């Protein structure tokens, strides 16, 4: 999926009256705009291009927090272009590896999952991406002039370079596993059964049989089909089911192969996880963690970030006046273009000062900012 690049309009500059009230940031005096965090790495690498990477979960309709992160990625890319003088584009990863359904072995209690990819297939995934993100991303491109692409995890993990990085991680496994899971050292890897597509969620019975730089062989167990063995090679083999941190490590090392400077854009709730990722990078001689920018999170009344899982469980503790569209973007009452303008104005407010960007926002505070900026 790609997009054209029409010129951005001038009518979405936020008014001063709607500015947030934020505490002094620890970066005051050092950082004038949040995209400036990227400048040292650009200079060190002498890069003329920047590629901003962000993940797109497709396991249901996005909530406002997800769309704030994505809108911030567009605005940061535009700021990199205009402020830092580099070409910048966005690369969204559509995570079709999320569990679609789960089964539990009645005898052992072992959980087995099937991913969105294996349940819906390529066409079904493409429909979900288009439904939840296509129109919004196109509208944000129209507002910012920033191009984007979307690539599914399934397609990405099929590439020889991704598999080479996965095999390289196995070569440093004894050290690496304690950085990715410092409490236990256990980092499961899953491989769907070739007969049905189900895999053990926690990889209890997955075993690495042998590995080198060009091939790894694993054994795993299926609830219906018993034991099976699987090969992973740069030119093909098994679909890779990796834990969140392991998958991000492989993806970020892959991104660093590009001539464009990789910039990882994630919500601020990822800060703790990225501490572990940065430690994992240091397991590879000469490797440096990528440039990172953390975006504001949207919080419920309890202070917890908006979360699909908490909302499904009815434990999100949202205020009674939270508009339904903040929880489910498909319930926005207007057009997609108007939603994009609203997000653009909101995130522009957040980016107007680093102290506004380095904090979280409750849903009532978001409603106030939007009301005072007269966008809804």
Joined tokens for residue 113: 């999952």
* Contacts of 101 by beta carbon, 8 Å cutoff, 6+ apart: 113, 114, 119
Domain limits for position 65: 16-98+118-157+244-372
Q: What is the pLDDT of residue 344?
A: 97
Residue with tokens 């660093």: 256
In a domain, 214, yes or no: no
Read off the pLDDT band of 5 (50, 70, 90): very low
Among 75, 86, 92, which Cα is nearest to 259's?
86
Among 136, 80, 130, 127, which Cα is nearest to 261's?
80
> How far apart (Å, rounded) are the C-alpha atoms in residues 329 and 72?
16
Query: Residue 258: which CATH number?
Result: 3.40.50.620
Give the mean model confidence (pLDDT) for residues 253-269: 96
- % of the chain beyond a pLDDT of 90: 82
Give the mean model confidence (pLDDT) for residues 281-288: 94
In a domain, 280, yes or no: yes
In a domain, 224, yes or no: no
> How far apart (Å, rounded) are the C-alpha atoms in residues 290 and 130?
29
In a domain, 200, yes or no: no
Q: What is the pLDDT of residue 312?
A: 63
Joined tokens for residue 322: 């939270």
In a domain, 297, yes or no: yes
pTM of the predicted model as reported, rounded to 2 decimal places:
0.92
In a domain, 182, yes or no: no
> How far apart (Å, rounded) are the C-alpha atoms in residues 78 and 145?
7
> How far apart (Å, rounded) are the C-alpha atoms in residues 64 and 67?
5
User: What are the CA-CA distances from residue 72 to residues 77, 105, 109, 123, 244 (Å)?
Assistant: 8, 42, 42, 29, 22
332-337, long-range: CB < 8 A, 24+ apart: 336/135, 336/136, 336/139, 337/139, 337/142
Q: What is the pLDDT of residue 304?
A: 83
Determine if residue 313 is left, alpha or beta; phi over 0 gives left, psi from -120 to 50 gives alpha, anything else beta.
alpha
In a domain, 360, yes or no: yes
Sign of CA dihedral 369, 372, 374, 376: positive
Read off the pLDDT band of 270 (50, 70, 90): very high
In a domain, 11, yes or no: no
- How many structural domains comprise the chain? 1
pLDDT over 60 (residue 17)? no
Strands 215-222 and 189-190: unpaired
Residue with tokens 């406002």: 64
């Amino acid at each position: 999926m790609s997009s054209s690049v029409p010129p951005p309009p001038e009518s979405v500059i936020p008014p001063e009256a709607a500015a947030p009230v934020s505490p002094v940031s620890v970066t005051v005096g050092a950082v004038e705009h949040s995209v400036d965090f990227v400048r040292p790495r650009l200079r060190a690498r002498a890069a003329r291009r920047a590629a901003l990477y962000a993940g797109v979960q497709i396991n249901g309709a996005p909530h406002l927090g997800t769309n704030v992160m994505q809108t911030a990625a567009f605005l940061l890319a535009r700021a990199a272009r205009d402020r830092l003088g580099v070409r910048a584009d966005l690369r969204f990863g559509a995570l079709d590896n999320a569990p679609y359904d789960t089964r539990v072995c009645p005898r052992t209690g072992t959980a087995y999952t099937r991913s969105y990819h294996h349940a819906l297939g390529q066409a079904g995934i493409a429909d979900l991406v288009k439904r939840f993100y296509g129109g919004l991303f196109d509208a944000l491109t129209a507002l910012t002039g920033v191009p984007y692409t979307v690539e599914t995890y399934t397609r990405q993990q099929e590439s020889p370079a991704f598999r080479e990085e996965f095999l390289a991680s196995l070569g440093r496994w004894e050290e690496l596993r304690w950085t990715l899971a410092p409490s236990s050292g256990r980092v499961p890897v899953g491989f769907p059964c070739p007969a049905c597509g189900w895999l053990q969620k926690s990889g209890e019975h997955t075993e690495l049989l042998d590995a080198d730089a060009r091939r790894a062989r694993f054994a795993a167990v299926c609830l219906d089909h018993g034991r099976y063995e699987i090969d992973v090679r740069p030119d093909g083999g098994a679909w890779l089911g990796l834990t969140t941190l392991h998958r991000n490590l492989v993806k970020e090392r892959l991104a660093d192969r590009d001539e464009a400077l990789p910039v990882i854009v994630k919500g601020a709730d990822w800060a703790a996880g990225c501490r572990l990722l940065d430690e994992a990078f240091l397991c590879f001689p000469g490797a440096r963690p990528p440039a990172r920018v953390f975006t504001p999170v949207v919080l419920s009344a309890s202070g917890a970030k908006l979360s699909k899982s908490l909302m499904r469980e009815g434990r999100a503790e949202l205020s009674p006046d939270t508009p339904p569209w903040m929880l489910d973007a498909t319930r926005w009452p207007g057009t997609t273009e108007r939603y994009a303008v609203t997000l653009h104005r909101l995130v522009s407010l957040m980016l107007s000062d680093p102290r506004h960007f380095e904090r979280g926002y409750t849903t009532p505070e978001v409603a106030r900012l939007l009301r005072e900026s007269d966008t809804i």
